[in-house]
Structure 1
Amino acid sequence: MSSTPATMSEPRRAREGMAAAMRAVFEKSGFAYVEPPLLQPAEVFLDRSGEDIRRRLYVFSDPGGRELCLRPDLTIPTCRLYLEGGSAGEARLCYSGPVFRFEPSASSKSAEFVQTGAEFFGGADAEAADAEMLALTADAVRAGGLGDFDIEMGDLALFDALVDALDIPAGWRSRLKRHFWRPAYFKELVTRLTTNGATVGGDAQAGLLAALGALDEASAKRVIADVLDLAGIAPVGGRSIAEIAERFLERAADANTAPLSRETADLIGAFLSLSLAPKDAAKAIRDLTEAAGISIGRELAALERRFELIEKKGVDLSRARFQTGFGRTLEYYTGFVFELRAAGKGPEGAVAGGGRYDGLLQSLGASARIPAVGCAITLERLAGATGEVR
């Protein structure tokens, strides 16, 4: 009986050793260790993270009525610590600790995970900072015990550049960018813009959309709020009434605008379907866009330079893939994104990920845009990939 506690604690000790080894990689590279609070304002995640996290937050109100949540990741809490320090300069911070996300298909124990990671704020050379972060993540994963992994990469800035170059209404550019991170809705949006909404909603909503289109924005939002209230319909999925109203207004505007051309829709689809070896990525994208009369040379040059710097950091890209549509899960990503996966396991084998989020800090209160890139490693996934028992 006396040996049971020691036997049961062995996996935990192993995982703690993995976390310490990964943290040491970051600290050796000049990242200062921080411990963000477990409790966070719920709104900072509801407003800036993807719908996947919205549905999985542990949200509650404190005695004073403030809506709080257990932190679902450590990137935003670390950003808040950085801003609370009052500096807008360059900083490297790392962390390791529990995060909490509801898993409807798993046991209650799996709602708590350990996340180890790092954030690099204020780096003036974006491609160099991206390369440094990917290389550090690879080093940390190896230190945690996984030496054989695949790398998946993407760059959301390429899609933004493509959309900016398209001959379409400015409002459509904004919406395509804004909803890029939501693949299912994005596909529906492109279909609607191509058909003026004829295939989405049909005649059932035509009268409502026509009526809304005749109103100014404030009046239309009041009408939608009243209709929802009279019907007893509550917002779902973390969406507010204002956001629902905005969707209706967008659809009303679509009905009165010339449709997106089939050629443009096909170009967007072809662009997002590219999956290539890094060495082939820039040429394939350049060939596709230039054939459509579009140039995104600056972004492609940055892509090529980033790959060169990553390889100079010692990262083997021979088993890496670059996908133009990869990274559409968190709303705050703005550029380079990556994921490390146990070899041959595909998306289910993901143990670490990260990317660039240059707009997040300003949305959290910074007076100006601050470049930032980070990574996070999920300890339980890494332990599973290395054969450790959870």
Structure 2
Amino acid sequence: MVQRPRGTRDFPPAAMNRRLALERLLEDAAQRHGFSRVQTPVFESLELFTAKSGPGVVNQLYAFQDKGERDLTLRPELTAPVMRMVAEEMRMDTKPLRLSYYGQCYRYEEFKTGRYREFFQYGVELIGASGPLAEAEVLALAVNMLHATGLEGWELRIGHVGVLKDALTGLGLSGEVDASTGEPPIASAMRLLDKGDDAGLSGLFSAHGLDPANTEPLRALASLEGGLETLEPARKLLSSMDGVSLEALDELEMTLTALAALAPAPPALAVDLTVARGLDYYTGMVFEVKVAELGGEGQVLGGGSYKLLHLFGLPDLDPSCGFGLGFDRVLLALEAQAESTGRQEVVPGEVDARPHIAIAPNKADHMPLLPLVASLREKGARVELLLTKKNYGRIIKWTEGIGASHLLVVKPEDLENGTGRLINFKTGDRTDIELNAASVLDAL
């Protein structure tokens, strides 16, 4: 028997209903914040991702040549394709652009809990505006989305790449690419700080002729953690370092102040000035959201301000700001929290909040009921017509099996009288009603 490929999943109706509900919930939040949905191809030119992440990324991709020997790949993420689309299709559109997107991505790597070779990402990009207010708008959307999902106890961690870069430059590290590592020493240091690798950080300083003791202010910076109150000791620490600007820290404070006005407070907020997101194209505010129940795979969302559009000839639109939300991770976190608390897990905004009506002829002819089915559907109801002949007991079992909230049973004599019996499967109430859409909907 042919099985699905390793690292992929199937989604039967019950699972798909949850996924559609979450997708619509996220999209509703995005639209309320002024974001519009876009879509890009599932496969793109390989160069799009090597230009962004370097040639080493190819080992993680589903890269291939098509019949015209063009180098292509299944997309591993959605930010770069959206940037490509903006450069190709939306150069002249009114800025700033507020774009949302959702779709499948592919990475060839060993999968584990919450990570698959085929996975789903929801994300947004705010393009053509930068600075604290733009960052706060993106953060506010992320916070509102997560509140809407019903997730509890999640932590929002916020930093600013500019603070780290200024500190590292002041301590003597270069921003030029090191031929031996293929990345700037500053980028290497940021990655080590993000991982909390103190030994690696000291070794990096030594390798560049700097006193490892110079890492002490960075360790002190990393030890600062809390909310807005963290900013003042950070300001004092940075002020004590030669040549370090406080501009980035001031911007971060403005972002946090604006966020507090735009969105409800997250369950936990931590200002972490060593959150670097591990990617060197981030330039300003960076953030991530973690859920404790997922353990080491606890991150469900991450993003920040970055520069990418200069790669497409649009440097005037850099930096942009956005985030990616791990769709599968959010659903896993909801399941984990429901299991740990014993409460029933419900994704708000269920996809079929509309009435779900089963219509079953009981020995009656189907044809006279078809106009009623069409009329109910036209008015927004979800209607399933029993297409085969069953006895009454099997009609009840069929209705339960499809999850309908109401059953309309019509016998031959009912057709003559223009009536039927409506059964409410939640309350058990039975009502005789006329066979027209208005009567059926009024009786629900």
TM above 0.5, yes or no, is yes
**1:157 is the counterpart of 2:162:** yes
**1:132 is the counterpart of 2:149:** no
User: Cα–Cα, structure 1 residues 172 and 112, in superposed 2: closer, same or farther, change >3 Å?
Assistant: closer
User: Cα–Cα, structure 1 residues 384 and 107, in superposed 2: closer, same or farther, change >3 Å?
Assistant: closer
| Alpha-carbon separation, structure 2, partners of 1:107 and 1:261 | 41
**1:72 is the counterpart of 2:20:** no
Partner of 2:299: 350
| Alpha-carbon separation, structure 1, partners of 2:205 and 2:259 | 39
User: Cα–Cα, structure 1 residues 316 and 264, in superposed 2: closer, same or farther, change >3 Å?
Assistant: same
| CA distances 1:234-288 after superposition (whole Å, capped 9, x unpaired) | xxxxxxxxxxxxxxxxxxxx5xxxx2134423333433x2341122222122222
| Alpha-carbon separation, structure 2, partners of 1:96 and 1:355 | 18
| Alpha-carbon separation, structure 1, partners of 2:174 and 2:18 | 56
**8 Å Cα contact 2:61/2:107 also seen in 1:** yes
| Alpha-carbon separation, structure 2, partners of 1:77 and 1:328 | 20
Partner of 1:121: 127
Give the paired residue count.
319
**8 Å Cα contact 2:231/2:249 also seen in 1:** yes
Alignment of 1:178-327 (within 5 A): 178-180=187-189, 182-183=191-192, 190-192=201-203, 194-195=205-206, 197=207, 259-271=209-221, 273-316=222-265, 319-327=268-276
> Which residue of 295, 305, 324 corresponds with 1:376?
324
**1:176 is the counterpart of 2:185:** yes
Tell me the SS of whatever aligns to 1:368. helix
User: Cα–Cα, structure 1 residues 293 and 117, in superposed 2: closer, same or farther, change >3 Å?
Assistant: same
Letter in 2 for 1:76: A
The alpha carbon displacement at 1:116 in A equals 1.3
Tell me the SS of whatever aligns to 2:142. helix
Alignment of 1:51-66 (within 5 A): 55-66=59-70
Cα RMSD for the two superposed structures: 3.2
User: Cα–Cα, structure 1 residues 58 and 172, in superposed 2: closer, same or farther, change >3 Å?
Assistant: closer
**8 Å Cα contact 1:311/1:317 also seen in 2:** no
Tell me the SS of whatever aligns to 1:73. coil
> Which residue of 345, 363, 368 corresponds with 2:311?
363
| Alpha-carbon separation, structure 2, partners of 1:180 and 1:52 | 20
User: Cα–Cα, structure 1 residues 368 and 167, in superposed 2: closer, same or farther, change >3 Å?
Assistant: same
| Alpha-carbon separation, structure 1, partners of 2:58 and 2:164 | 25
**1:101 is the counterpart of 2:111:** no
Higher relative contact order (Cα pairs below 8 Å, separated by 6+ residues): 1
- Structure 2 unaligned segments of length 5 or more: list them: 1-10, 336-344, 347-444
Normalising by structure 1, report the TM-score. 0.72
The alpha carbon displacement at 1:39 in A equals 0.9
| Alpha-carbon separation, structure 1, partners of 2:312 and 2:329 | 30
The alpha carbon displacement at 1:290 in A equals 2.3
Normalising by structure 2, report the TM-score. 0.64
User: Cα–Cα, structure 1 residues 374 and 344, in superposed 2: closer, same or farther, change >3 Å?
Assistant: same
User: Cα–Cα, structure 1 residues 344 and 279, in superposed 2: closer, same or farther, change >3 Å?
Assistant: farther
**8 Å Cα contact 1:152/1:321 also seen in 2:** yes
User: Cα–Cα, structure 1 residues 107 and 41, in superposed 2: closer, same or farther, change >3 Å?
Assistant: farther
User: Cα–Cα, structure 1 residues 178 and 369, in superposed 2: closer, same or farther, change >3 Å?
Assistant: farther
Tell me the SS of whatever aligns to 2:53. coil
User: Cα–Cα, structure 1 residues 41 and 270, in superposed 2: closer, same or farther, change >3 Å?
Assistant: farther
The alpha carbon displacement at 1:93 in A equals 0.7
| Alpha-carbon separation, structure 1, partners of 2:169 and 2:334 | 43
| Alpha-carbon separation, structure 2, partners of 1:31 and 1:64 | 37
**8 Å Cα contact 1:31/1:93 also seen in 2:** yes
The alpha carbon displacement at 1:132 in A equals 1.0
User: Cα–Cα, structure 1 residues 344 and 148, in superposed 2: closer, same or farther, change >3 Å?
Assistant: same
The alpha carbon displacement at 1:106 in A equals 4.0
| Alpha-carbon separation, structure 1, partners of 2:253 and 2:226 | 12
| Alpha-carbon separation, structure 2, partners of 1:43 and 1:185 | 33
Partner of 1:339: 288
What percent of counterpart residues are identical? 26
Letter in 2 for 1:333: Y
Higher helix share: 1
